[in-house]
Amino acid sequence: MTDTAKLGSFTVNRMGYGAMQLAGPGVFGPPRDADVARAVLREAVASGVNHIDTSDYYGPYVVNELIAEALHPYPDDLVLVTKIGGRRDNKGRWLPAFGADEMTAAVHDNLRRLKLDVLDVVNLRLMFSHLGPAEGSLEAELTTLAELQQQGLIKHIGISNVTPAQLVEARSMAEIVCVQNAYNIAHREDDAMVAALGAAGIAYVPFFPLGGFSPLQSAALDAVAADAAVTPMQVALAWLLQHAPNILLIPGTSSLGHLRENLAAADLVLTPEAIATLDGIAG
């Protein structure tokens, strides 16, 4: 994997890894096989991944502990991106955690479990709505994050699950190095945001690369994948990489086989005809 992009002051390979699925079902509790989970992390890094996305509320705590067990002391070029703004209750429900005390505690918890003195990137993950982005001011939350950054606990700040208006507000308050939103071939509401961020040198990190496809959209994706003799997931990832140079990918899996398939998508070049077909399924 030689295709790179900027993530704040870092240069990372555009194919990264999202660690969320290393936890148990529903991203709650321990994995079925912790040895396999650690093996996935080690193989990802050995294969060239130097951007791992995580959070202390995955598990909770389980995933960060696995990362530290498998990879610490970390390679010099490994960038660990975490997120705060949420918590889990004892039944695994996702709850907002935006208070200054909660966010400060979350940063310290991530530092401790990842065995770090400073976090490379912290994404403020908004939970104003469980259905997707919803409007609301970020002033209080970003003020807290900026203070933690000034204390030397955070190198860079990102935002997740945000609207265009929230992005404008955030950039007026702090240097934002990445935006992490739901985005894929079929759901392209952020097209203008991706382009604007690219022009500003800011990374865009999509999640749910196969989320919310209709049966017709899935059929079109399947047809392109069959023609290329690859999987639909590989096509979806390759399309994202070819769509904009500031897109960084973090596909997640707890399987070594699926990890290898995902990483291979970085070398898949879609034909102009395939791109045209895929572009036509949005909406």
Selected catalytic residue, list 58, 61, 74, 204: 58
Whether residue 164 is preceded by a cis peptide bond, meaning omega within 30 degrees of 0, is no
* 105, two tokens: 């505690």
Task: Establish whether 58 is a catalytic residue.
Answer: yes
Cα 6 to chain centroid distance, Å, stands at: 15
Element (H, E) at 227: helix 215-228
CA distances from 109 to 23, 94, 113, 116 (A): 17, 17, 6, 10
Strand order in the sheet with 17-18: 17-18, 51-53, 79-84, 119-125, 154-160, 176-182, 203-207
Cα angle 263-197-224, degrees, rounded to a multiple of 5: 40
Task: Say how many C-beta atoms besides its own lie within 10 A of residue 3's C-beta.
Answer: 11
Nearest by Cα to 3 from 196, 244, 251: 244
CA distances from 137 to 84, 98, 141 (A): 16, 12, 9
**Residues that are catalytic:** 58
